[in-house]
Structure 1
């Protein structure tokens, strides 16, 4: 459309046969030629740029054609109306009977005026707000800029500064995703920049614990499938369905990463996003004692976070065990025979007493099984009930944490830690002296 145009002539077209755009344009020029005299000849008006090109959109169905015609005009109102009326004199388009009817003459300037008014309202409401930043806002903006400046590259790919030396990495789709994670303090992400996974990323996944954090769409699923074929994926997280990682706020990012799912638990075929969503439902279910750690997290809830049980006297002089939360509120009274030990109690009995045993605890920190420490590998591999915590009177080895990760164990406590080549990020490893007073 010519920028100098004042009006737009809109008309509808119908023809008893199949016609094309060129047929309509030819009919307009041919049947209006000489109709209005030299001053309003359509060809001359186009050559002098007083009338724009004829824009035709037409389609055919069941042997009939129908569509719309638009002509831009910089003539005055009267001449534009005359030109528009002349279009309705057309009776044929190509070999077919046709009817053209002017539906509207649009004043472009009025439309621009409305746009100016609406835009002025927006500017008035947004551009004159109080822009004085508080000290907190200044601090947050400076911290965010520092995080964004921390973005580096790994063999030419956008990456956080910890990718080169971190035991665990997060594979995302693009640079914007890396920036989003940096904004929230997560510095071990690397981007694949498309569905064609680079060889450098594929090789990196063989050496690290890998979590994929991808958009909740078909593209994210395709990247996961290719990466699983060329590399080694340990855990999977998706943004909510239909959303991108770069658009998530801090809470949504942390929740997605904490609710990651072991890749080995996913089916080989079918909708992987749906499978991940189903697996995550169990993580959000009531009774799920502890969330998996974020990639750089190597912490475990302190003993004071656990529920404590103490003996109290009832009104009739009887003894009961009252379970209390960290804030001191009573939750449930049970008989002394059903008293539940704290995590510290279990660690003390297994490790401090040099028991030579391994103990498996369920999600209520109740004893699930107890075996000789040398039998822990076989027991953990074949137990029907997956424990929440494993305590061993010995060294926490690479083999033990690998089996724990495969079975879904979240905490392992031992007398000491071994050397880890690749420590799963879903398992929190602690030594007894870190928990005992």
Structure 2
């Protein structure tokens, strides 16, 4: 197995888990590898990524009290931030550890390089102050002072200590970016009303800002950026959205590019409905399936669904309309991103908690499956295939 060099680590995924029964650390590792297998394709298999040295040793810390087990998982990553956040999101699809039901929540995706850069800057200042000015290159001094001034503008906002510019409180508009590196780049070009989410999960502080200020979301020009836009809009009042040019990240844009992109911002609804967002094989665009009020499931419906059982493949879920026609074939983890107006029935190999929760969100009449996992009571009709 290839070992990941500490110097290669870019990000660290930190996730919390809670389960209703006791188990050991190997059970957690087994769940991470086993339940994400086949979910993201062979190139993103955790086991293969670890063999290739693209993710490091997975650290697990747990404790069991009163029959309940809680703990923390830390996964170091040498992947880029888009791939790392996809891995992080995949962890939240795990619903069982060992023999017990479990829930995993990603607490943060930390940019390890950010803390290293902070240390480098502070230490460089100390070393610079101890060097005699005699013989120093004036250009080096100028660059050091400029960099020091730029870094000094990064502040910590709110109880969550989010990276931000100094004008958050005084500005009527706030630009929301993904991480600290994005904040630093915007500050470099004089944009001070900027705040970073510092991870993939939308912080409560930013949601609160959306209640009193106009939020503009500025995301990377890749699929990860578009998924983040969808998630943020589901959880906060976002006025406008804009994205970096295709294939570029916010942290690498020049000042000219940043201003051009910000001038092209559009309303959140237009961005989410636009063709750029809908392109690609895993489109999360809001769909509108023609249909009216959902009818009741009939005996004939249930019989026909049983006859369609062979169409279910792997861990995917079939979304059927009220004519029992397949309109969507997606992984269970994608159900929460769908927004269809009259999905009628879901079909799955196993009706897990994730599938049932997705069914409740979509408002379907029933869930048809060959097996049923453990989940809380639901009003949705369950049909055994």
TM-score (ref. length: structure 2): 0.35
Larger radius of gyration: 1
TM-score (ref. length: structure 1): 0.31
Q: Could you say which structure has the greater relative contact order, defined with CA pairs below 8 angstroms and 6 or more residues apart?
A: 2
